[in-house]
Amino acid sequence: MIQKIWKELAVVLVAGVGIWFGFSQFTCSDLTPMKISQEKQQLLGEKIYDELKKTRKPVSSPEVRTAVDNIKIRLMKSLEKKDRDNKKDQSNTYQIYVLDDPMVNAFALPGGIIVIFSGLVDFCDTPEELAGVIAHEMGHIENEHVMQKIYTRFGLALMTRLFTGNDPTIATEMGEMITENYFSRQMEEEADSFALDLLERTSIQPRVLAAFFKKISKLEMDVMNIKALSTHPDSNERYQNVLLYEVKKDFQEKKISLDWQKVRNSSHNSR
């Protein structure tokens, strides 16, 4: 009898290991593109953004809007050229929104949507620093990190309920999760690498990210205000990694022409 029981347990164990090994061969990046179309990703991103707007108003400043648009245009031109050079179809059309919130934060939503809090605009000393943060968030989108994160947390069934309008609270939960901005170390490193390459292609000195991470590192103890950007890799470590990045010998920097102090002063609505 005991021998029979051990035999059955052994069969169950072998079967369990086999199932685990089979699923371990697939990652969320393998599954997500097959499950969620680009159109549905855009719909999902808009739903989450609509929920975020219920607690934070869009910044109405034309100076901020002009600055963000100018940065996006420069980055997009370089990204489109990179995709052509690599014979890759450009599937994401980016929209960048600024919400009135003092937290130093930016995050990517599904469907090419990037949300910036006004506190981040004021925190950046130069438009190039903001461009570096935006390039980083574009890296998360291009590498499908956002959908991997959502798929892992919520699963296809819950997202289907959201698409059909049966459970709008899921959009709120997704928004709260995404604003936390916690990605794995590997994802953050991939997004940083993408940002450095894109900045160089855009004639923006990649070391602007080093200046940004150095400031973040000094403020990481301020949990209430800075926790959203103190992601898994230590900011000081990310600062050191950026310093190791070497641009091509023929690199020529081209500054972003903006009255940045004016942009910062108008980065939030009147309170």
Catalytic residues: 137
For 31, the token pair is 């599954």
Residue 106, strand partner residues: 116
Say how far apart CA 232 and CA 87 lie, in whole Å: 33
Q: Which residue has the tokens 């990517």?
A: 108
Kind plus residue range of the DSSP H or E element containing 117: strand 113-117
User: What is the C-alpha to C-alpha distance for residues 90 and 261, in angstroms, rounded to an integer?
Assistant: 34
What tokens were used for 90? Answer: 């450009």
* Residues 40/104, Cβ–Cβ less than 8 Å: no
**DSSP alpha helix (H) spans, the chain:** 2-24, 28-35, 38-52, 62-85, 118-123, 127-142, 145-163, 169-180, 185-201, 208-219, 223-226, 235-244, 260-265
